[in-house]
Structure 1
Amino acid sequence: MTTPATYEQNVFINCPFDEKYKPLFQAIVFTVQVCRFIPRCALETMDASHIRLEKIMAIIEECKYGIHDISVKAARHNMPLELGIFVGCRQYGKAHHRLKQYMVLEGKKHSSKVYLSDLSGQDYMAYNNKVPEVIGCVRNWLADKVSETVFIPHAPFLCTEYEAFRRDLPGLCAIRKWSAESLSFKELLSLSTPWINARTELSRIDPSQD
């Protein structure tokens, strides 16, 4: 069986989807995109005909990479389960699944080890419940997985880009008569993807040619 065309770019995001976590979730999504990957998560489809767990397993199967935030304050019972499915898919899936890679985020250092002792030896990346730090964690992890010809901005510059996107977001929403506070996952991607692509094209312009 051949590997799906987007498998190498797909990143499964396993984290809380509540209002409190939303700023962190949207920052993770943005960072994944800037690093030239495709964010995937359970929110991408609202098809009620599919059992939620089956939907999650199907998405995990299509993703080479996984970002899992299972920190104590943010954790939900399904999040360790989704991490387990991801690890199981790597172990027992098809040939190309053997190369799956994942990172474990936690809001505070060592907070996850309280109830996930089976992951001892796994490197956790703590972000201190701050948007700039979670951007740095995700950026640094993904930057090692792109081609040597692709240059990913360092975290401070990426944070500046994310702040610019957040400033532009209300205007982008107004054009479509959307609310920035009520965006679905797909709607967020429909706004962030062209915005990032446009900024990337601008950054390729050679000032010497002006």
Structure 2
Amino acid sequence: MKLAEPEYERGVFINCPFNEDYQPLFEAVLFAVYQCGFVPHSSLEVDDSSQVRIEKITTAIGACRLAVHDISRVELDAATLLPRFNMPLELGIFLGAKSFGGGMQKRKACVILDTERYRFTRFISDIAGQDIRAHEADPARAIEQVRNFLGTHIPPGTLLPSGRTIWERYAEFRAELGGNCRRMRLDPVRLSFRDLTTLITGWLDEHPLPA
């Protein structure tokens, strides 16, 4: 089904690890995307056991013109000693959709994040021509990189709040998260994707930036 143009234009596919170690970066990226006026999408947002994971990924990618791909956790698993290639796979699917898709899909754009700017050349040399952005495993830097990327995909003459402003607002959101979870009878350490995005959008609605 073809999505309405505004929904596709504002959609941002988030490709990153979904584990406890990465959670601070994941939450910061989600907050930044919403603060910039876009809508993050992920394979986590639909819980459907009848749909295999790769279908969830391709559906989410197809629904979004933009994407944030974080390849910083392509490293050996401590238990198996094998590398984790989910993130490069999803990046490849996104680039393939842009190259071989029709219509709106050809207008896709993305930012690729890593801990260091050129570290990726040691394990994914095929994307050596891409402009990789470093976040240094720092949520504040990740927010800045996402903000700068999304700032190139807004109407001319409009501006986004600075990365520092978004980081400060994210810190306020985090400080209030425990209390908000208690009021809504949620466990702050076991939030689903939908729980987290609802909490973020609710907080942003209650704390608008000054006009």
> Under a length normalisation based on structure 2, what TM-score does the superposition of the two structures give?
0.91
**Cα shift at 1:76:** 2.5
Partner of 1:207: none
The residue correspondences of 1:5-154 to structure 2 (distance < 5 A) are: 5=5, 6-71=7-72, 72-73=74-75, 76-154=84-162
**Cα shift at 1:184:** 0.6
**Structure-2 separation of matches of 1:175 and 1:69:** 33
Q: What 5-or-longer segments of structure 2 have no aligned partner?
A: 77-82
**Cα shift at 1:169:** 0.6
Distance verdict in 2 for CA 1:116–1:196, change over 3 Å: same
**Cα shift at 1:149:** 4.8
In the alignment, is residue 171 of structure 1 matched against residue 172 of structure 2? no
- Output one character per residue of 1:99-153: Cα deviation in whole Å (capped at 9) or x when no partner: 1001110012312121111101100000111111111110111111112354311
Q: Which amino acid letter does the alignment assign opposite residue 134 of structure 1?
A: A
Q: Which amino acid letter does the alignment assign opposite residue 51 of structure 2?
A: H
Stretch moving more, 142-151 or 50-59: 142-151
Local SS of the residue matching 1:13: strand
Local SS of the residue matching 1:104: strand
**Structure-1 separation of matches of 2:148 and 2:207:** 20
**Cα shift at 1:198:** 2.5
- Output one character per residue of 1:64-109: Cα deviation in whole Å (capped at 9) or x when no partner: 0011011244973211111111011111112111110011100123
Q: Which amino acid letter does the alignment assign opposite residue 15 of structure 2?
A: N
Local SS of the residue matching 1:181: coil
Q: Which amino acid letter does the alignment assign opposite residue 169 of structure 1?
A: L
Q: What 5-or-longer segments of structure 1 have no aligned partner?
A: 205-210
**Structure-1 separation of matches of 2:185 and 2:15:** 29
Partner of 2:193: 185
**Cα shift at 1:155:** 1.0
* Paired residues, number: 203
**Structure-1 separation of matches of 2:147 and 2:45:** 22
> Under a length normalisation based on structure 1, what TM-score does the superposition of the two structures give?
0.91
**Structure-2 separation of matches of 1:150 and 1:174:** 37
**Cα shift at 1:2:** 5.8
Local SS of the residue matching 1:160: helix
- Output one character per residue of 1:138-186: Cα deviation in whole Å (capped at 9) or x when no partner: 0111111112354311111111100000011111101111111110110
Local SS of the residue matching 2:112: strand
Aligned equivalent of 1:162, options 157, 170, 173:
170
**Structure-2 separation of matches of 1:61 and 1:22:** 25
Local SS of the residue matching 1:49: coil
Q: Which amino acid letter does the alignment assign opposite residue 118 of structure 2?
A: H
Local SS of the residue matching 2:14: strand
